[in-house]
Amino acid sequence: MASFAIVQIGSRQYKAQVGDELIVDRLSQTNGKINLDKVVLLSEDGKVKVGEPYVKDAQVVAQVLGEEKGEKIEVMKYRAKSRYRGHTGFRPKFTKIKVESIGVEKSASIKSGSASKSARKTTQKRS
């Protein structure tokens, strides 16, 4: 069974599998690799992990391929009996990414666990 992840990018969620090319809302990064750490659901080898709200230490690494423009959206406005007809339109910009890897970063969980324990001890001593 293929592994996949549900990733939150901006206010939307996308299903990501290794090798997929996704068109997502515009990102500030225009090229290079990007780490998506807001993983809502992770499925590996038939085992599913659901985040609360995100899966801890899970990340999706993707390559930014570039920007694309979407379909033109036209907005028409009309007011009866006043000879008013408004027309505006725009083309939203999207970012195209290619998913390279999906997984859980095991070394980060060990480091973050020891760091959080020492942080708790220092805050208790100061109080």
pLDDT, tens only, 61-84: 999 999 999 999 999 999 999 999
Q: How many domains does the chain contain in total?
A: 1
- Residue 27 token pair: 């990102």
pLDDT, tens only, 27-57: 998 889 999 999 999 998 889 999 899 999 9
Domain with 88, as residue range(s), is 4-126
Distances, alpha carbon 118 to alpha carbons 6, 81, 82, 110, 113, in Å = 33, 72, 70, 13, 9
Q: pLDDT band for position 103 (50/70/90)?
A: confident
Using an 8 Å Cβ cutoff, are 85 and 77 in contact? yes
By three-state DSSP, how is residue 2 classified? coil
Phi, psi angle pair for 96, to nearest 5°: -100, 125
Share of the chain above pLDDT 70, in %: 82
